[in-house]
Amino acid sequence: MDHNNHEGDFEGSRLEGAQASVRIIERMRSELDYASHELAGVLRVDQSRAGEALHRLLSIQWAIREVSLINSIASHLNGHQVDVRRHAREAARRWPSPVTNRGAQCMRYGHVASAVLHELKHAGVCMACHGVGSVEYVGVDHDGTVPCPECAHGGYQDTAKGYMPYSDRERARQSLIDQDTFRKRGYDQIYAWGLDLCRAVLLG
């Protein structure tokens, strides 16, 4: 077989594979948008349907991340230049699968979704700002309203809304996952993504 033809066939197959991956991600993002709209319609009125919608959103987001990671690995194996730091970040942030080794649905994603909704409904009102999410501050370099220093911790500095987030221990407990597994297997990342999404829906 002609060597040049062989390389051409390989390159063509690689390009087709890359284009197929792009189409898959685009389709999943469309599903993500649809499920987000569905969540917005039921989040305040139907906890059961909201839990189902959030569960589906978590699973779709897992699939998007997996395809992106596989694309990155494939590019590396094919000898193409890749962003090594980005690849390392994606690998480190890999979520556990929403299905078991035997193909059955993993219950943990559903438990995480339920726990997120429980936190949204039951997290306590911050006593420092009385639920406002901001406090008055007078200082040398700033004078005015700033995010509450008590309820804005844990990565929500720009979106504090006056409630005290659950601790990681409580989030793991509500998710029916032991704390060590919750943190080391990445369920804390799944939880945070779901919580951020729900809060954005509520604020929107």
Residue 143, pLDDT above cutoff 50:
yes
Domain-embedded: residue 35: yes
CA 60 to mean position of chain CA atoms: 10
Alpha carbon distance 60, 65 (integer Å): 9
What is the average pLDDT score of the chain?
78
Domain that holds residue 99: 3-104+178-203
Query: Which of 128, 167, 121, 169 has its CA nearest to residue 148?
Result: 128
Helix, strand, coil percentages, rounded to 5, for the chain: 60, 5, 30
CB 111 within 8 A of CB 177: yes
> pLDDT by residue (tens digit) across 59-107?
999 998 888 877 766 665 555 555 666 666 666 678 999 987 776 778 9
Query: Which of 29, 30, 57, 56 has its CA nearest to residue 200?
Result: 57
Give the per-residue pLDDT at 10: 42
Domain-embedded: residue 26: yes
Domain-embedded: residue 167: no
Domain-embedded: residue 123: no
Give the per-residue pLDDT at 50: 94
Domain-embedded: residue 115: no
Q: Is the pTM of this model over 0.75?
A: no
b/e map of 147-186 (b: 16 or more CB within 10 Å)? Answer: bbeebbeeebeeebbbbbbbeeeebbebbebebeebbeeb
Contacts 24+ apart (CB under 8 A), 92-97: 93/65, 93/186, 93/189, 94/65, 94/66, 94/69, 94/186, 95/61, 95/62, 95/65, 95/186, 95/189, 95/190, 96/185, 96/186, 96/187, 96/190, 97/62
Domain-embedded: residue 88: yes
Alpha carbon distance 84, 80 (integer Å): 11
The total domain count for the chain is 1
Strands (E), the chain: 134-138, 143-147
Give the per-residue pLDDT at 156: 40
Domain-embedded: residue 86: yes
Alpha carbon distance 194, 39 (integer Å): 11
Which one-letter DSSP state was computed for residue 43?
A: T
Give the per-residue pLDDT at 75: 61
